[in-house]
């Protein structure tokens, strides 16, 4: 009897130990890099349409193909960071007075506005290319950038289709496509574009409006573009009905000329709080978070930039020289071309995360 009880006790002890070891090794705690989507989402409404482009054809009203503007309510051919910041916004976070714009969209030649759901557009701001021990920096005021090729003559000339530029049905998580879907049971088609977020630390723009930016490679920013900025991924919604979707074209041409522009005019204090308390704190702040209760004690100076492809030093970080950005052609009278030039710096490496993040499911209005 004694031997039997002893045997049973030994078996129970071993079983308990096995259970504990299995629990420890089968379900390790999430590391900071695995935290759920550090950052935030801002929802913005469609504002207006104009044949203007203050990045490509600055101070030339009517010189561009038609664009649909989201966010800043006063975007036009003469827009500057100061004028955008002084105007209103359709974004749910009041501090986001940035301008976002895309070419006008048509189905079988009929205009379709980007207002396909209660929230017309969502912009995901995420931490990407910033390994543990690095800081994401806020966008410098006036930063401009473009994704896509408005001059593409074929899908191959816009190689980010299916990677950083996708079409899908929405809202919610559905199949990412390199071309418009044939139908959407929800009646809503979504166009999503994912911007590069590695900055050269010097130029607010570049002649091609792209080469001052780069995508992360191997989960970190390249040495040529060492400053990690927030990564923007847009989800723009169009009401196309539940039947077969007709031929989708854009004011710039066929669907494969899809592109998007971004002109930063975030309130610097608001943006800094969000970057510090969401991205750098490894926190998913959700959609349209309030910044009123966010602490600013740990906020770095917006003028102090850390080369974020290396670990954060334990001493005062060395700042990137604060020299005045190089003169850019977009601050003077632009040439007489009417749309974006072909890209000369298409990224040679695909981003490290594919496919784009699924947007949260939201019912159509």
Domain ranges of the chain: 32-331
Q: Say if CB 69 and CB 100 are below 8 A apart.
A: yes
What 3-state DSSP class applies to 101?
A: strand
Q: From its phi and psi, is residue 209 left (phi > 0), alpha (psi between -120 and 50) or beta? A: left
pLDDT confidence of residue 359: 54
- Res. 11: pLDDT tops 70: no
193/356 Cα distance (integer angstroms): 9
Mean pLDDT, residues 4-27 taken together:
39
Per-residue confidence (pLDDT) for residue 203, from 0 to 100? 98
Helix, strand, coil % over all residues of the chain, rounded to 5: 15, 25, 60
Confidence category of residue 211, pLDDT binned at 50, 70, 90:
very high
265: Cβ contacts below 8 Å, ≥ 6 apart: 72, 81, 84, 85, 97, 98, 99, 141, 142
How confident is the model at residue 35, as a pLDDT? 45
Please state the rounded mean pLDDT for residues 41-52.
Answer: 98
H helix intervals, the chain = 2-26, 81-86, 268-274
Instruction: Give the residue from 307, 169, 340, 139 showing the smallest Cα distance to 238.
Output: 169
For residues 216 and 346, give the distance between their C-alpha atoms in angstroms, rounded to a whole number.
13
Q: How confident is the model at residue 351 (pLDDT cuts 50, 70, 90)?
A: very low
pLDDT of 161 reads 98
- Whether the bond between 115 and the residue before it is cis, its omega within 30 degrees of 0, is no
pLDDT band at 312; cut points 50, 70, 90: very low
Per-residue model confidence (pLDDT) at position 172: 86
**What would the mean pLDDT of 115-138 be, rounded to a whole number?**
96
The pLDDT of residue 276 is above 90: yes
Whole-number pLDDT of residue 92: 98
**Inter-residue contact 55 to 144 (CB < 8 Å):** yes
User: Tell me, what's the pLDDT at 310?
Assistant: 38
pLDDT at 10 over 60: no
Q: What mean pLDDT comes out for the span 2-19?
A: 43
Indicate the range of 173-187, 210-224, 313-327 predicted with least confidence: 313-327
Q: Which residues contact 45 (CB under 8 A, 6 or more apart)?
A: 70, 90, 91, 115, 119, 120, 121
8 Å CB contact between 233 and 197: no
Question: Is it the case that residue 197 has pLDDT exceeding 90?
Answer: yes
Whole-angstrom Cα distance, residue 232 to residue 29?
28
The least confident of 161-170, 276-285, 355-364 is 355-364
Whether the predicted pLDDT of 311 surpasses 60:
no
User: Cβ(105)–Cβ(250) under 8 Å?
Assistant: yes
* Mean pLDDT taken over the chain: 80
Nearest to 217 by CA among 307, 347, 126: 347
Q: Which of 280-284, 296-300, 320-324 has the lowest mean pLDDT?
A: 320-324
Starting at the edge strand found earlier in the chain, the sheet holding 248-250 runs 110-112, 105-107, 248-250, 253-254
Determine the Cα–Cα distance for residues 261 and 146; give it in Å rounded to an integer.
5
All residues at 6 or more sequence positions from 153 whose CB lies less than 8 Å from its CB, including other chains: none
Q: What per-residue string of b and e applies to 222-234 under the rule 16 or more CB within 10 Å gives b?
A: beebbbbbbbbbb
Q: Place 293 in a pLDDT band, splitting at 50, 70 and 90.
A: confident
DSSP 8-state symbol, 317: P
Low-confidence winner among 71-75, 116-120, 243-247, 335-339 (lowest mean pLDDT): 335-339
Q: Which of 131-145, 306-320, 324-338 has the lowest mean pLDDT?
A: 324-338
What residues are paired with 89 via a beta bridge? Answer: 72
pLDDT (mean) for 37-57? 98
pLDDT at 306: 44
Which residues have CB under 8 Å from 25's CB, separation 6+?
none
**Helix/strand/coil (H/E/C) assignment for every residue in 207-270:** CCCCCCEECCECCECCCCCCEECCEEEEEEEEECCCCECCCEEECCEEHHHCEEEEECCECHHH
Adjacent-strand bridge partners of 232? 125
């Amino acid at each position: 009897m004694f031997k039997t009880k002893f045997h049973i006790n030994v078996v129970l002890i071993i079983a308990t130990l096995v259970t504990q070891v299995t629990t420890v090794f089968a379900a390790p705690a999430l590391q900071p890099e695995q935290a759920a989507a550090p950052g935030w989402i801002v929802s913005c409404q469609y504002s207006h349409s104009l044949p203007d482009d203050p990045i490509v054809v600055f101070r030339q009203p009517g010189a561009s193909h038609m664009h649909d503007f989201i966010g800043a309510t006063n975007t036009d051919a003469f827009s500057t960071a100061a004028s955008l910041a002084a105007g209103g916004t359709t974004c749910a976070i009041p501090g986001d007075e940035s301008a976002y714009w895309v070419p006008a969209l048509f189905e079988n030649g009929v205009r379709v506005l980007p207002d396909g759901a209660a929230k017309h557009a969502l912009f995901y701001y995420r931490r990407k290319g910033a390994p543990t021990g690095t800081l994401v920096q806020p966008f410098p005021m006036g930063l401009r950038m473009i994704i896509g090729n408005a001059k593409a003559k074929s899908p191959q000339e816009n190689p980010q289709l299916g990677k950083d530029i996708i079409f899908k049905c929405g809202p919610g998580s559905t199949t990412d496509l390199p071309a418009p879907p044939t139908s959407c049971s929800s009646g809503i088609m979504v166009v999503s574009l994912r911007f590069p977020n590695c900055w050269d630390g010097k130029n607010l723009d570049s002649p091609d409006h792209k080469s001052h930016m780069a995508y992360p490679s191997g989960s970190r920013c390249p040495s040529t573009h060492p400053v990690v900025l927030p990564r923007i991924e847009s989800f723009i919604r169009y009401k196309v009905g539940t039947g077969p979707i007709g031929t989708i074209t854009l004011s710039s041409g066929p669907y494969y000329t899809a592109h998007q522009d971004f002109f930063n005019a975030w309130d610097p204090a608001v943006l800094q709080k969000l970057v510090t308390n969401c991205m750098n704190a490894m926190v998913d702040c959700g959609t349209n978070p309030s910044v009123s209760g966010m602490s600013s004690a740990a906020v770095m100076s917006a003028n102090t930039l850390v080369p974020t492809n290396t670990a954060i030093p334990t001493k005062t970080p060395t700042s990137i020289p604060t020299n005045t950005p190089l003169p850019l052609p977009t601050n003077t009278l632009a040439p007489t071309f009417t749309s974006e030039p072909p890209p000369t710096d298409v990224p040679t490496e695909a981003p490290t995360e594919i496919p784009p993040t699924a947007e949260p499911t939201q019912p159509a209005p």
